Amino acid sequence: MNLRRHYLAGIGLVALSAVLSLLAYPEMPAEMATHWNAAGEIDGQTPKLAALALFPGLSAFMLVLFAALPRIDPLGENVAQFREQYDTFVVLLLAFLVYLHLLVVAANAGYEFEMVQALAPAVGALYYYVGVLSAHAERNWFVGIRTPWTISSDEVWDRTHERVAPLFKLAGVVAALAALVPAYAEALLAAPVAAVALYATVYSYVEYRRVAA
């Protein structure tokens, strides 16, 4: 029942993205701003048909991809053990894409706001939930900290994810603060999660050597 609920939510978000594109199409400029640099300045444009097709297309692709991954994973039975958190992450990812879509449309409609600051809370929420997902994830080939050492050992997988789960949550809180500190927004969004990923890689290697000793 929960699985069907998550899929219905995902399909609804894809449909919402498609409706947003259809409604926005007449009002959008021929060339839409689709990329902003760290200073919040537009540095990339895309023809409006391609830009408006991108978001619902990407959302639909992500929904199908994440639905398929547990079926093709050789360790798919492990994914079933944290499927609730897995499916919730998929819904949150699609919701993030809809939010990004809305921001792009609003910016091209003439509304003035700082793109990076507007994105920061959503990015922070996504990072935070990666921490929640990490705390529940069992060993698999597609989700979580997948290094040669975590994939090779259940014990190393469990210890690594137990260690990094709160760090991802902290990275989410820091990323959300970028909305309040625009001068350091790019660093607050990127640096914490990059540091957590690097730490997780090194930690998994050290743990594997310790367990194998």
pLDDT, tens only, 143-155: 999 999 999 999 9
Tell me how far CA of residue 67 lies from CA of 6, 34, 72, 74, 124, in angstroms: 11, 28, 10, 15, 24
Domains of the chain, by residue range, sit at 2-212
| 106 Cβ contact list (under 8 Å, min separation 6) | 113
Residue 110 zone, left/alpha/beta (φ > 0; ψ -120 to 50; rest)? left
CA dihedral 52, 53, 55, 60 (to 10 degrees): 160
pLDDT score of 3:
62
Beta strands in the chain (DSSP E): 31-36, 42-47
Q: Measured between alpha carbons, how far is 213 from 211 in angstroms, rounded to an integer?
A: 6
Q: Report the predicted TM-score, pTM, of the whole model to 2 decimal places.
A: 0.92
At residue 1, the pLDDT reads 46
Residue whose C-alpha is closest to residue 100's, from 124, 118, 73? 118
Q: Are 20 and 102 in contact (CB under 8 A)?
A: yes
Question: Average pLDDT, whole number, for the chain?
Answer: 93
pLDDT in tens, 156-196: 999 999 999 999 999 999 999 999 988 888 899 999 999 99
